[in-house]
Chain A
Amino acid sequence: MLEKISTGVEGLDRLTGGGFLLGSAYIIQGPPGAGKTLLANQFCFAHVRSGGRALYMSLLAESSARMLNYISQMAFFDTQAVPESMQYISAYGVLEREGLPGLLKLVQHELRRFGATAMVLDGTFVAQSVASEQEFRAFIHALQGVAGVANAVLVMLTHQNRDSSSPEHTMVDGWIEMRDEMFGYRSYQSIQVRKHRGAGIIRGKHRIRITEHGVAVFPRIESCISHAPSDEALADRVSVGLSELDRLLEGGLPYQSATLLLGPTGSGKTTLGMHFLSTASVEAPGLMLGFYETPARLLMKARSLNIDLDRLVEQGALTLMWLPPADILPDEIAMAVVRQAKASGAKRIFIDGLIPLRDNLVDSERMPYFVNALSLNLREIGATVVYTSETKEISIDDAVMPSDELSSMVDNVLLVSTGHRGPASKRSLSVIKLRDGGFYPLMQEFHIGDKGLMFGSENVVPHNARPG
């Protein structure tokens, strides 16, 4: 059985199927500023925390004191670890004077001298620049042998963008690429495990975030689904908090289902979501993720509609999460929602606004699979989830389901359409799709008044209506 040690980054451990293999050599490649040095240091400090010893050897002309000064500001830095269990040394002089044979000897000597089981060789491209292709290939091969004999993990950092057929990539046990790309005016940092011996790796690009805690890796949520959730009690129904709509849905939304609520701006989607959350309890808590209204504004809005969310928040039966809609990492948010839902045992979850998630995915083709994976994760913990998504104005008179790629990925679809009766505007709700249902297939008019959302075709929207 091959033994693995943590990379020091939870998300990267997932991508690599558990971490780095002991006795192996890895390359981490990426342009300057991509986070290689940070990641390598995180790995070293995590290794030291678990009782190992780590050595950071630099081939760069850059001062290691400067790097250490910068790294010491990071949350993972452990003042007590240096120099007892973690040391920084420069091998640039040895490389300059003695070339690759001297460097190889030094690596062997230092691993043995310090008793290190994790070692970083920063600036491998410098080693490459002083030797021929053949000599460099022999050096990498020998380094692998050194890592094997020492039963250590050797991580080489390089900023060179060499292709996958280059000798070092074919020879090493693992190859991780970090990127920093521009999409319009936005910068997207990502990581990809290009090669990793052993099973269980998750391929493709995954987004990262660099903070004072170091590099955080967020695996694409759809790449982490490995099994179908159980189908227990799926026949049960969950009230949406509105008896008329529950009747329309033949008892409510199917238990552990995912519902997409479509409609134009101001059509009452958030209000309906607040009704859905209003039936949360300490035993079956609720969770809301919003991007537009802050929790304070949302609670104020609920108060004005006589929907009592304050009490639920006070009781701990409702958690309100809010994020500004720009520059977010959807996979990070998905992970946070799932984590929060697990922690609070949330059974009804309202995610108000899929558009910010879609816009920040970079590759918007991911969206249906992203929503599907998030729903499966939430279903696994017994939650029923409602998403809202903006559509263009849909007239009551010709209400047809807008072409929406998400519809096939959710269990239920509700559509809000709008229109006018004389000078007054009116809204209507249609059940487009319902899992395992039987539903009343008519469009139901509703209005939003001081008791929230109310059904009835005779109702006319009052002037002081507060749309969702």
Chain B
Amino acid sequence: MLRILLVEDDPDVAMVVSALLEDAHYHVTVAANGKEGLDMALQERPELIISDFMMPILSGLEMIAKLHEAGYTNPILLCSAIPETQLPTERPSYGAFLRKPYSGAELLDAVTRLRKKANMS
């Protein structure tokens, strides 16, 4: 079972999305902010990360930058309520972007595409 780390400060979104992913046979753990996400990612080494952008303590992009520094290279799906074009121009790379609010189908489709891109079975 593919392990996904969901980094999301919005508890409603975290609950609904983790249930959706579990229904699709993913193993999901949840972190409530970028700092928690960083710690859990380095400890658990999930195959894929889905992360919100605007979060307290460490933003999604700050977390990704720190993950890169720590040598984490697995694919990351970044999500945000603002369009990707408005993200800071100086930003670390990530696998894909998904605009919030998204539907369950859109999320699962984005995860599938990201897995294919990373040659994950």
Q: In the assembled complex, which residues on chain A have CB atoms less than 8 Å from the CB atom of B87?
A: 83
Determine whether B100 belongs to the interface, using a CB cutoff of 8 Å to chain A.
yes
Interface contact A106-B57, CB-CB below 8 Å: yes
Interface contact A61-B81, CB-CB below 8 Å: no
Can you list, as one digit per residue, whether each of A59-83 has a CB less than 8 Å from chain B (1) or not (0)?
0011111101100000000011011
Chain A interface residue number, banded: 20 to 34
Known: A64-B81, A65-B100, A83-B86. A89 touches B11 (CB 8 A): no
Cα A374 to Cα B88 with chains together (Å): 51
Within 8 A of A (CB), among B54-92: 54-57, 59, 80-83, 86-88
Q: In the assembled complex, which residues on chain B have CB atoms less than 8 Å from the CB atom of A113?
A: 57
Cα A93 to Cα B53 with chains together (Å): 16
- Beta-carbon nearest neighbor of B87 in chain A: A83
Interface contact B10-A82, CB-CB below 8 Å: no
Q: In the assembled complex, which residues on chain A have CB atoms less than 8 Å from the CB atom of B81?
A: 64-65, 68-69, 88
Chain A proximity of B6: nearest CB distance (Å): 12
Known: A65-B81, A83-B86, A84-B88. A89 touches B32 (CB 8 A): no
Determine whether B23 belongs to the interface, using a CB cutoff of 8 Å to chain A.
no
Q: In the assembled complex, which residues on chain A have CB atoms less than 8 Å from the CB atom of B83?
A: 79
Can you list, as one digit per residue, whether each of B12-51 has a CB less than 8 Å from chain A (1) or not (0)?
1110000000000000000011000000000000000000
Chain B proximity of A127: nearest CB distance (Å): 15
Within 8 A of B (CB), among A179-220: none
Determine whether A91 belongs to the interface, using a CB cutoff of 8 Å to chain B.
yes
Determine whether A92 belongs to the interface, using a CB cutoff of 8 Å to chain B.
yes
Determine whether A90 belongs to the interface, using a CB cutoff of 8 Å to chain B.
yes
Q: In the assembled complex, which residues on chain B have CB atoms less than 8 Å from the CB atom of A110?
A: 56-57
User: Pick the contact of A93 from B11, B82, B100 — CB < 8 Å?
Assistant: B11
Q: In the assembled complex, which residues on chain B have CB atoms less than 8 Å from the CB atom of A82?
A: 82, 86
Chain B proximity of A92: nearest CB distance (Å): 5
Known: A83-B53, A89-B54, A110-B56. A65 touches B10 (CB 8 A): yes
Chain A proximity of B41: nearest CB distance (Å): 17
- Beta-carbon nearest neighbor of A66 in chain B: B101
Interface contact B33-A93, CB-CB below 8 Å: yes
Cα A65 to Cα B100 with chains together (Å): 6
Interface contact A88-B11, CB-CB below 8 Å: no
Known: A61-B11, A61-B12, A109-B57. A94 touches B32 (CB 8 A): yes
Q: In the assembled complex, which residues on chain A have CB atoms less than 8 Å from the CB atom of B82?
A: 68, 79, 82-83
Chain B proximity of A116: nearest CB distance (Å): 12
Q: In the assembled complex, which residues on chain A have CB atoms less than 8 Å from the CB atom of B33?
A: 93-94
Cα A66 to Cα B12 with chains together (Å): 11
Cα A65 to Cα B87 with chains together (Å): 15
Interface contact B56-A106, CB-CB below 8 Å: yes
Interface contact A92-B56, CB-CB below 8 Å: no
Interface size on B, residues (CB 8 A): 23
Cα A252 to Cα B11 with chains together (Å): 72
Determine whether A96 belongs to the interface, using a CB cutoff of 8 Å to chain B.
yes
Determine whether A87 belongs to the interface, using a CB cutoff of 8 Å to chain B.
yes
Cα A84 to Cα B89 with chains together (Å): 11
User: Pick the contact of A80 from B14, B56, B86 — CB < 8 Å?
Assistant: B86
Can you list, as one digit per residue, whether each of A240-276 has a CB less than 8 Å from chain B (1) or not (0)?
0000000000000000000000000000000000000
Q: In the assembled complex, which residues on chain B have CB atoms less than 8 Å from the CB atom of A83?
A: 53-54, 59, 80, 82, 86-88
Interface contact A79-B57, CB-CB below 8 Å: no
Interface contact A90-B10, CB-CB below 8 Å: yes
Cα A80 to Cα B86 with chains together (Å): 7
Cα A305 to Cα B117 with chains together (Å): 80
Q: In the assembled complex, which residues on chain A have CB atoms less than 8 Å from the CB atom of B80?
A: 83
Cα A63 to Cα B30 with chains together (Å): 16
User: Pick the contact of B101 from A63, A89, A91, A97 — CB < 8 Å?
Assistant: A63
Interface contact B12-A63, CB-CB below 8 Å: yes
Known: A63-B101, A65-B100, A94-B32. A89 touches B86 (CB 8 A): no
Interface contact A89-B55, CB-CB below 8 Å: yes
- Beta-carbon nearest neighbor of A68 in chain B: B81
Interface contact A65-B86, CB-CB below 8 Å: no
Q: In the assembled complex, which residues on chain B have CB atoms less than 8 Å from the CB atom of A84?
A: 86, 88
Interface contact A65-B13, CB-CB below 8 Å: yes
Q: In the assembled complex, which residues on chain B have CB atoms less than 8 Å from the CB atom of A89?
A: 9, 54-56
- Beta-carbon nearest neighbor of B9 in chain A: A90
Chain B proximity of A113: nearest CB distance (Å): 8
Interface contact A69-B101, CB-CB below 8 Å: yes
Interface residues of B, Cβ cutoff 8 Å to A: 9-14, 32-33, 53-57, 59, 80-83, 86-88, 100-101
List 23 A-B residue pairs with CB atoms under 8 Å apart, sorted by A's residue number.
A61-B11, A62-B12, A64-B10, A65-B13, A68-B81, A68-B82, A83-B59, A83-B86, A89-B55, A90-B10, A90-B11, A90-B56, A92-B10, A92-B11, A93-B11, A93-B14, A94-B32, A94-B33, A96-B11, A106-B56, A110-B56, A110-B57, A113-B57
- Given A63-B101, A69-B101, 18 extra CB contacts under 8 A: A61-B11, A63-B10, A63-B12, A64-B54, A65-B100, A68-B81, A68-B82, A79-B83, A83-B53, A83-B80, A89-B9, A90-B9, A90-B11, A92-B11, A93-B11, A93-B33, A106-B56, A110-B56
The 7 A-B residue pairs with the shortest CB-CB distance in the complex, in nearest-first order:
A93-B32, A65-B100, A65-B81, A90-B9, A68-B81, A90-B10, A89-B56
